[in-house]
Structures are given as structure tokens and as C-alpha cells.
Structure 1
Amino acid sequence: MGYDTLTIGLDAGGTSTRAVLTTGTGECVGFGVGGRGNPTSSGVEIAGDGVMASIAAALAASSATLADVSVIATAMAGQRIGDEEGAWLMARLSAEGFAGRLVFESDLAATYFTGSAEPFGYAIVAGTGACAVRIEDGSIAATADGLGWLLGDRGSGYWIGHRVARAVVRELDHAGPRTALTPALLAHLGITAETARREGRLQVLDQVVEALYALRPIELAALAPLAFTAADAVAERILHRAGAHLADTLAAVLDGPGPVVLGGSVLCRDSPVRDAFVRRLGAAADGLDMRPVVDGAVGAGLLALRAAGVAVSPETLARLSGSLAGMR
């Protein structure tokens, strides 16, 4: 095999898991993708299957086995860090020959180290949920939001999707302005626009309400893309408010200039959300180096190297990013 150190970084999300097999010098020698990897949202069996599938795919690109891996760092949202809490995964890994160290890290840390190896900076993720952190001495020192759909996640995909649903219902209930979001949502739900009424109310409104209440609240995040394509005043107002909320979340952890790594589908693209985000930050944005990233895979790999005692640097990050890009 010829590698003195092998580590695996796992970027385990609610929809997919990415595994990065890395040497002690920061070279990626294997990459794999599996299914859902977060036990909080998917349960331990499904999450275990997703993680193990991603690891198997990463190992298949090399001659290594799990017995050759010294450290596995698993980055995910909502996972408490500790041996007992990680038993659901350690049992699966041990059965395949892993005898090394398993550590858990925040998905925000993985996002940050995907875009920066500097010991001080910030990360903000706006996907289904939304959260920001400040990194000091390579560790999370401050956190804002990430409070879930009921109490927070302001400006997130869920937040946007919820506002889309409310805007459409308000129009159909004659309580809000006309919006291009309405035909878009009806098409998304497979509901035909009709003018028939029952008890003075549009029957199509009853159908929309029934369809929306049949969803789990977090599933409203799937409606967020409608706001990006509707291109009318109602949709733009939703996106502008989302950007302002995200800026306020980041501002809560700001403590001087530094890199800001942007993750999640809501914020990492050029859009009215990003524009409103920067505009709301105002003068504070002048000292911030915005760095969008597509996922936390590189950062998970870097966190695994750190857990193995490797001193990481911007050069390590560049080497890992470049070698991983060639394997995707």
C-alpha cells in the first residue's frame, strides 16, 4: 500500500454522505458517495448504510481496507460528540476491521475547513437550516441560530419555503397580493387551478392546505427553489428578507475581519439572497473574504488529518482540494 497514515473524513448529511480517504500529506486517494448519513433525521440503520456505502466506495479507489485507517472524522449536524453517542457507527466500522479512532465534528467546522485552513474565521451555512459560527484557534468559539424550523433557521431553505407557502395561501384566501408563486406551487403539488368555490372559498385553496399540512414541516424547504425562479415582487421580497436574516445571524458572531466560508444551496450561489446578505452587512463586509463552497467534504478530510495529529496548513488544504477535485 505504501501510505504511512490513512484517514477518512465523512461529510454526512441528511440526503447524502461523502467519504474522503486521505494520506498523511493531505493527498486524497479515494472518494465515495453514499446515502443519507445523519441518524437524527434518518435513523441509525439508514444512516449506517449511507456511511458504510460511502466508505466502501472511497476504499475501492485504493488498495486500502478499513484496517489500514487510523482515524475517521464524521462531520454532521446535530450529533453529540462522545463514545456512547457514536456506538451506532463504531459497531458497523469494527465489524469491517476498523480498529482506529472515531471522532465526531460539527458540519459547520467541516464547511469552514473546506474553504480555509486559517485558525480564525467564520462559516455560515444556509441550506435546509441556517447557522453561523466563529472559529478561533481552529475550534468553534461562537454559534448563532441553528435552532431548527420551529425556533430559528432564519433565512434558510425551510424559512424561504414556508414563506412561499404562506404567500400562495394568502393570495388564494384573498388576503395577499397576486404572485407568480401561486401557479408555480400548484404545479409543484400537482394541483389544477380551478375557480370552483365551496362555502365562498376557492376549493383549490382547500387542496393546497391539505397538501401542505400532509408534509413534515422541514419538507417545506423543497419549495424554496420556487422563490428563486418566480421573479416577481413577492418572491424577491422573500429572498431579500432571507438574505437580511442570514446577515444578522453572521453579525451575531463577527469579531473582526477574516475569511467567511459560505455553504448551503441558499447562500453559496449568486442570487438576490447573497446580494441582500452583503448589503445588510454593510461596512462589516469590507473586512470579510467570502469563500463559497459546494459541500464540506474537503473540510471533513482536513478534520480527520487534524485528529490524527497532522499539522494542517493552507498548503495542505490546497493539496487536498486539488486531489479531491480530480476524483469527483
Structure 2
Amino acid sequence: MEAQVSRRPADWLVLGGDMGGTSTRILVAGPDGTPVGRGRAGGGNPVSHPATAAAALGQALGAALADLDPARVRAAVVGVAGGSALSRPEVRTAFDRVWSEAGLTCAPTYASDLEIAFAAGTSEPDGTVLIAGTGTVAGALRGRRLVHTVDGHGWLLGDDGSGFWLGREAARATLRSIDAAEPPGPLVTSVLRELGALDEPVAERPDLNGQRVRVIDTLNDRPPVRLAELAPLVTAAYMVRDPSAERIVEEAARLLFETVCRARPPAERTPIVLAGSVASENSPVGVALRALVAERFAGSTRSARDGVGGAAWFALAAADARAATEEARSRLTII
């Protein structure tokens, strides 16, 4: 990764960014890795929604730099999901415009979201990383550079076990329950309520066809990616041992494990970094996934709680390689 560096006085800063489908985050830090500014905005994928992604970047930059002089930023690295879209001139122009409007004078380096997530989880140069949030993508790294990518195909063609996948499975389980005229369990009840298809108070004999139509119409009226908003309902229902939710969680963990397997040689002993809300230690999918990974692979399993810290660490290394210590990385990645 060759980040471009702007030479500034000793009170220089670095900037890291993480652009994903759920949120866009910016972190500004000093030479020792101490955060001095943070910004957060909505998600945006430059492949499918370049204008939205550029606008979100601009909002997050504005918030992070609100009390700082942007000219002090010596180096910047931004991790992007769907970063290949930045090769399109019209997309890159939109990103360059918001960058300039933020007052930044150093040129940004755009990196893979997998690279910055891996750096957020470990300082080791080689290993495997999985991000499971709204979407799913995994990769193998050598020398902190991505050498192989698995999945990341988007909601239509892949993203197995992702937040989108969980939400879609919750919707499908709901429709199957309605078709079978089954008494709704916790998952189905919560999905019906979320979609405005649950009769309140609950009727003794609900209008099943009406519920079916409302579920289908409501979901079809929304952008498909919003199915991911139903994912937390799966987690909540799992916690009360809803059978449908348990099956969905088990299958999601299996699919994510298979994704890791496609990215990692069986005998490798390097670290495995898991990132994203679905793969987190607090997610039932993440817990089940960790058990599968530990049973199959050698090498430690680590969590990346904040990918933006990995991006800032890369920027720190570009600004001054001597400053990119493990201590600085720890400061940058602690939420």
C-alpha cells in the first residue's frame, strides 16, 4: 500500500476511514495514535450507490474534522467495500470533490476493507480475515496485502451468512409459517410487527392472506438491502430459543465457516480475524462461527471491533513508519 504523504510540521495528524454498507466512519489521530476526532455517517457502496457513498464520506469527514485544521493531516487511508468502483472516472470525481471540500490537502489512499479489518485485529502481516456485516467477504493476506478474495458478491449473488442473508431468511420463515397456518413463534411475531402485518391486538383467527400480502408488499416496496434490518430480530428470537431462529443462526455460521475455508489453506497457522456485527463475539452467529473455526484451524482467532482504526494505523505508517507501533495500533482500535 503506497499512501501519499503531505509533509507537515511536527503537530501533524493522520486520518483513517472505513466505508461499509451500514456506516461510514472517519478517525483522525495524532502521531502517537491518540484519536483526536471521529465522524460517522450513513453507509454507502460506491458500486451500487456512488452518489450516496460520496455524500456519506463528506458528512463523516466534516464531523471528524470539525474542530481541527484539515491541512495538518499528513496521510490518509480509507477502506472501501466495493472499492473497484473508484476506477470509474465519474465515481472518483465525486469522491475527490468531497475530499477537497473537506479542506484536506493530502491525497487519500483507498484500500480494501479486508486489509484494514485485518490490521484492526492483528499487527501480524499474514493471515485470513472475514467481514460479516450487511454483506459477507473474506480474504487471505500476505504482507498486509490482499492476495485472494472470497464472496463479496453482493446480496443478489452471494453474501452468504450476512446480515442481509439473515434478514431474508427471517422473512422467508415468516412467509412459510403463514402458508402453513402455524401459530407464530417469537421470530415470526416480531417480523410481522416490524413490517406492520401483525393485527394488534392479536386476533384469535388472523387474516393470514392479508398478512401474507402485507409482508410481500412491504418488502417489495423497500430497497432489497433493507432486508438486513430484520437481522436483529433473528438474534432476539434466538435468545428465547425460537426454533426457526436457531436454525437460521446455525446455517449462517456454517455458511460463514465455509467462506473462511475457501480463503484459508487447511494447514495454515496464521491469525484469523473476524469482523463485522454478524461475526462479532456478541452475536450468536459469531459465537457458533468461532467454535467451528477453532475446531478446524490452528492459529489464533481475533476480533476486529473497529476497522477504521486499522486504516488510521496504515496512515500512521505512511506518515512515519517509526510511529506505527503496536501501542499506537492498540490506541487506534480501542472503541
Confirm or deny: 8 A CA contact 1:29 1:61 kept in the other structure. Answer: no
Q: Give the TM-score taking structure 2 as reference length.
A: 0.84
Q: Name 2:259's counterpart in structure 1.
A: 249
Aligned partners of 1:180 and 1:97: how far apart in 2? 50
Q: Name 1:238's counterpart in structure 2.
A: 248
Aligned partners of 2:255 and 2:299: how far apart in 1? 18
Is 1:93 aligned to residue 99 of structure 2? yes
Q: Name 1:295's counterpart in structure 2.
A: 306
Is 1:66 aligned to residue 66 of structure 2? no
3-state DSSP class of the match of 1:151?
coil
Match of 1:280 among 292, 301, 304: 292
Aligned partners of 1:141 and 1:31: how far apart in 2? 30
Aligned partners of 1:313 and 1:122: how far apart in 2? 21
Is 1:225 aligned to residue 232 of structure 2? yes
3-state DSSP class of the match of 1:262?
strand
Per-residue deviation at 1:153?
Answer: 0.8
Aligned partners of 1:139 and 1:67: how far apart in 2? 29
- Paired-residue identity, %: 34
The one-letter code sitting in structure 2 at the alignment partner of 1:56 is G
Aligned partners of 1:145 and 1:133: how far apart in 2? 9
- The structure-2 alpha-carbon separation of the partners of 1:273 and 1:34, relative to structure 1 and needing over 3 Å to count, comes to closer
Aligned partners of 2:173 and 2:96: how far apart in 1? 46
Aligned partners of 1:175 and 1:280: how far apart in 2? 35
Gap regions ≥5 residues in structure 1: none
3-state DSSP class of the match of 2:37?
strand
Number of aligned residues: 316
Per-residue deviation at 1:290?
Answer: 2.1
Match of 2:321 among 307, 310, 322: 310
Match of 1:203 among 205, 210, 229: 210
Confirm or deny: 8 A CA contact 1:70 1:101 kept in the other structure. Answer: no
Gap regions ≥5 residues in structure 2: 1-7
Is 1:320 aligned to residue 332 of structure 2? yes
Is 1:135 aligned to residue 141 of structure 2? yes
Aligned partners of 2:74 and 2:67: how far apart in 1? 18
Q: Name 2:111's counterpart in structure 1.
A: 105
The one-letter code sitting in structure 1 at the alignment partner of 2:302 is R
Is 1:262 aligned to residue 282 of structure 2? no
- The structure-2 alpha-carbon separation of the partners of 1:317 and 1:213, relative to structure 1 and needing over 3 Å to count, comes to same
Confirm or deny: 8 A CA contact 1:31 1:61 kept in the other structure. Answer: no
**1:152-198: CA deviation from partner (whole Å, max 9, x where unpaired):** 1111111111111111111111187854322111111122345365x
Aligned partners of 1:170 and 1:180: how far apart in 2? 14
Aligned partners of 2:95 and 2:289: how far apart in 1? 38
Match of 2:198 among 192, 196, 204: 192
The one-letter code sitting in structure 1 at the alignment partner of 2:151 is D
Q: Give the TM-score taking structure 1 as reference length.
A: 0.85
Per-residue deviation at 1:10?
Answer: 1.1
- The structure-2 alpha-carbon separation of the partners of 1:296 and 1:142, relative to structure 1 and needing over 3 Å to count, comes to same
State the superposition RMSD in angstroms.
2.6
**1:226-265: CA deviation from partner (whole Å, max 9, x where unpaired):** 1111221111011001001101101111131222222111
Aligned partners of 1:209 and 1:183: how far apart in 2? 15
Aligned partners of 2:276 and 2:262: how far apart in 1? 19
**1:56-111: CA deviation from partner (whole Å, max 9, x where unpaired):** 3333344xx22232322221100225594532122232345433222111112121
Per-residue deviation at 1:118?
Answer: 1.2
Aligned partners of 1:265 and 1:176: how far apart in 2? 31
Q: Name 2:170's counterpart in structure 1.
A: 164
Q: Name 1:48's counterpart in structure 2.
A: 54
The one-letter code sitting in structure 1 at the alignment partner of 2:299 is L
3-state DSSP class of the match of 2:124?
coil
Confirm or deny: 8 A CA contact 1:262 1:268 kept in the other structure. Answer: yes
Instruction: For 1:28-47, list aligned pairs within 5 A.
Output: 28-44=35-51, 46-47=52-53
Aligned partners of 1:279 and 1:320: how far apart in 2? 28
- The structure-2 alpha-carbon separation of the partners of 1:59 and 1:205, relative to structure 1 and needing over 3 Å to count, comes to closer
Aligned partners of 1:177 and 1:120: how far apart in 2? 50
- The structure-2 alpha-carbon separation of the partners of 1:92 and 1:150, relative to structure 1 and needing over 3 Å to count, comes to closer
User: Which segment drifts farther, 100-109 or 206-215?
Assistant: 206-215
Q: Name 2:79's counterpart in structure 1.
A: 75
Per-residue deviation at 1:204?
Answer: 1.9
